[in-house]
């Protein structure tokens, strides 16, 4: 089944109400779109995204969800579009690789920082996302200022990099849109259901704006 856009999210509450159905094609802005859930964490989300790409053969992939701020200037509810995503919990620099890089098959190097399709979207600020298999606590942010100073990470998540890597392997443009759910001080929304509803509204608006982008603006390769 070939379609225009595959929309993925880790959990149901990040996609609820944005798409009327999951795992069934619908039409948005004249494009055939399928939404599916990929779970939490790098391995689970990588496998689920790979499986969805093989099943649906999309021309574009969009990840929607929430994430934690690393940049102290970001507020709860801030809407971000990733210009790059970094795998920051893999560090093989002692083997003369860049931070986040790893060894691939036959001596190749898999880059730990990936560029993304990030056109200007109203209401969404550009940022670098950082992915790791852990929830980044306030104490860890304070203990590791290099995440911001060296890698330039503005927001932390647990699925962005593997989704982008799966897309890169298939030469598919990838966009990551997230809403800040907790700030760099570790503060969270007092009423999460209200925050989640408002966050999904922003994600829906961003998705619709993105799908209205002319196809020629999308990169042909990553």
Q: What pLDDT does 195 receive?
A: 96
Tokens 């994430």, located at residue: 67
pLDDT mean values, one per 10 residues, the chain (222 residues): 91 92 91 96 97 96 97 96 97 94 92 97 97 87 87 96 98 98 92 95 96 58 38
pLDDT at 29: 87
**Spatial CA neighbour of 143 closest among 51, 134, 220, 123:** 134
> Which residues make beta-bridge pairs with 16?
19
pTM score, two decimals?
Answer: 0.92
pLDDT of residue 221: 38
- The sign of the torsion formed by the CA atoms of 49, 55, 61, 65 equals negative
- For residues 209 and 26, the answer to whether their CB atoms sit within 8 Å is no
pLDDT of residue 83: 98
């Amino acid at each position: 089944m070939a379609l225009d856009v595959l929309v993925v999210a880790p959990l149901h509450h990040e996609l609820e109400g944005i798409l009327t159905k999951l795992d069934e094609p619908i039409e948005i802005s004249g494009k055939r779109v399928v939404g599916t859930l990929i779970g939490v964490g790098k391995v689970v989300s990588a496998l689920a995204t790979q499986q969805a790409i093989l099943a649906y053969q999309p021309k574009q992939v969009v990840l929607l969800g929430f994430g934690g701020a690393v940049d102290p200037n970001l507020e709860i509810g801030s809407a971000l579009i990733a210009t790059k995503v970094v795998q920051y919990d893999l560090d093989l620099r002692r083997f003369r690789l860049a931070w986040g890089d790893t060894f691939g098959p036959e001596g190749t190097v898999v880059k730990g920082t990936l560029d993304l399709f990030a056109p200007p979207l109203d209401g969404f600020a550009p940022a670098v996302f950082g992915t790791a298999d852990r929830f980044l606590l306030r104490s860890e942010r304070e203990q590791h200022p290099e995440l911001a100073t060296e890698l330039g990470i503005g927001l932390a998540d647990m699925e962005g990099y593997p989704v982008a890597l799966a897309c890169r392997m298939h030469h598919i443009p990838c966009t990551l849109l997230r809403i800040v759910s907790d700030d760099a001080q570790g503060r969270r929304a007092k009423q999460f259901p209200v925050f989640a509803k408002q966050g999904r509204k922003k994600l829906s608006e961003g998705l619709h704006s993105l799908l209205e982008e002319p196809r020629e603006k999308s990169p042909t390769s990553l």
